[in-house]
Structure 1
Amino acid sequence: MMALPPPNLPRKRGDGFRLTPIGRQLAQLPVDPRLGRMVIEAAKNGSLHEVMMIVSALSIQDPRERPQEKQQSADDKHRRFADKESDFLAFVNLWHFIQAQQKELSKKPVP
């Protein structure tokens, strides 16, 4: 069973396309199929938490983008999340920071 036939293969009337098992899983995920495939494989390999952070970051506008007039200030604030080895690890660092901030804010009593 092929997900899609080669483009030059003649087709007969009534030929239908059928999703592969992975295609059916991807169809259930609300992300780009390439990112969804990362999620599926990560779930199999025990790295879902880490990959979800990366997929989340790749699914939205880059949070490091900033207005021209505030570049220096934004660069200074984002520097704390930087990783010499990987931009993706910078996303992971930012994710951990946001989670810690949310946890801290949820502990504060409501006035």
Structure 2
Amino acid sequence: MLLAFSVAPSGIPADPAYAGAGGAADASVHDAVAAAVRIVRESGLPNKTDSMFTTIEGEWDEVFAVVKRATEAVGKFGSRVSLVIKADIRPGFSGELTAKVDRLESAIAEGS
């Protein structure tokens, strides 16, 4: 399975150590996103992060376990968490994190 997700905090964190400047919630969420991406990378699953989503590849249970841990980490940065998930569930296939893009690039090149 390929699973793309985006997770972001909102509201004031319960722990002031996770608040932005002056103790208020910071408009930038880069620290919270960094905490989530760190968990994804430490998982050992194939992954890629872009400006909008992090995509991970693996089996259902292992992928969702990583998303849960990443969401919990982001939760420290706010009183609420927004989580967006999109999945491509294709049993029997692996390496699709790069293979799908490779097939797309080949199709574009052939059409030139």
* TM-score band w.r.t. shorter chain: 0.3 to 0.5
Structure number having the greater helix percentage: 1
* TM-score, normalised relative to structure 2: 0.35
Q: Which has the higher contact order (CA 8 A, sep 6+)?
A: 2
